[in-house]
Amino acid sequence: MGFSINGKGYIGTGGAISENYSKTFWEYDPATDVWTQKADLSGVGRESACGFAIGEKGYIVLGQIADNGFTNDLWEYDPDTNSWLQKANFPGSKRDGAFAFVIGTKGYVGAGGNNSSFKQDFWEYDPSFDSWSQKNHYGGGQVISAAAFTIGDKGYVGTGRDNNLEYRKDFWEYDPAIDEWSQKSDFISNPRAGSVAFAIGGSGYLGLGRVIDTSYADFWQYNPVTDSWIQKASYPGGGNGNAAGFSIGGYGYIGTGGASEKQFWQYTPACLAPANLTTLNITSTSAKLKWNASSGVAKYKVQYKVDSTGAPWTAKTVNAANTSIVINNLLAGVQYKWKVRSICNAEKSAYSPVEKFTTQLKLASATAEATTFNVYPNPFAQSSTVSFMVEENSFIKIELFEASGRRIKTLAEAMLEPGRHEIPFDGQGLTAGIYILSLTNSSTIEASKIIIE
């Protein structure tokens, strides 16, 4: 069982050689490559438990305990005080071999089994209220020892062994926004259980594992954008089931487990897609696109477009020293989406998952060529009037757009003298709904939302 908090890795519990059910707990510092023993888990020793981290706290839940028993207790670890605090028990039955992942500020735990049956129930833990909520059952059915990771705002789970004692390779995506599971491309290698999994940037990694008396060392990368798998360098420690793994920054870490005993290895991706995309300083005509740096990058390629089917992508290149770009000449009140990839000399990463933003509806620049722009009546059924004021000689262009950003037509395009101007707007042929009317001159873009009833 492993997780990471604030640049440190943590591994604990398990079926140790010196003790059947361990409660020891260790911290790894990648900066010094040093292990430090921390406070033992306050609960009973266990193996096949789940571990995850939310914010600056770690959590251990479930597991097999002495006398062939199982537990459903949950424990929170605080690295600042090196102490454990018992939290609300997992509401499902006692079990081991469950999977766990974290999305945002919530933890998710599901499946697993005990001596009587395998499970597929799935639960969300909210540390703010120390409470559990049941969610839709895991899409892969009743399984034990599946592997899981998180990319962006989605959770991913796959492999494992089912209640028919068959090893699995199916792979599923969970969307917490709609509480729904979607089946994705199968894990491309052999079916297995007890694999290790983690995410680095916009990619997931899954490998190792076992079937009966065979252990695997192969290692694979999952791209959520293309829903595809690519084989990566095999684990150097040899075939291994039930290893612990986590990621810190741009690196993955794998160790312990059935075959390797105490071996511990660092994995460095070849060319990693940028992560943590954010959009800042959004105006009606511009936005700042920002992402985390990736190691070994020569430059980044950014693509953005109006979030509408058929709209073309616009590409920009950014030097590796920068991890942001300001894009201009955007439409007001329109939703855009963007993505970015790393270019590492001869190799390119996959594109990151898409980030979306919406420009402000109206923002006039502080120039002499100001206009006052409105539509009346609004809403309207058939016709309306577009009224605007021009302060000095200006070239004016008025265009109509769908809410998605697709341009429908140009209403006016002319050089106009100072003064108030009005043009009729005929809504004939347009379906009821929301539209954007845009007025552009040489230095200003204004927009008005109109509703046709």
pLDDT band at 371 (very low <50, low <70, confident <90, very high): very low
Identify the pLDDT of residue 153: 93
User: Which residue, 350, 294, 285, is CA-closest to 322?
Assistant: 294
Residues 67 and 211: their CA atoms lie apart, in Å, by: 25
* Res. 135: pLDDT tops 70: yes
User: Which residue, 446, 376, 379, 386, is CA-closest to 420?
Assistant: 386
pLDDT band at 30 (very low <50, low <70, confident <90, very high): very high
CA distances from 421 to 279, 332, 384 (A): 36, 21, 14
Domain annotation for the chain: domains and CATH numbers:
2-267 (2.120.10.80), 278-358 (2.60.40.10), 371-452 (2.60.40.3080)
Mean pLDDT of the chain: 90
Identify the pLDDT of residue 331: 85
Q: Is 163 left (phi over 0), alpha (psi -120 to 50) or beta?
A: alpha
Residues whose CB is less than 8 angstroms from the CB of residue 211 and which lie 6 or more positions away in sequence, other chains included: 167, 190, 191, 192, 193
User: Which residue, 174, 25, 172, is CA-closest to 106?
Assistant: 174
Alpha-carbon dihedral sign for residues 387, 437, 356, 349? negative
Altogether, the residues listed in the chain come to a count of: 453
pLDDT band at 442 (very low <50, low <70, confident <90, very high): low
**Each residue of 263-303: pLDDT tens digit?**
999 998 888 889 889 999 888 888 999 999 887 899 999 99
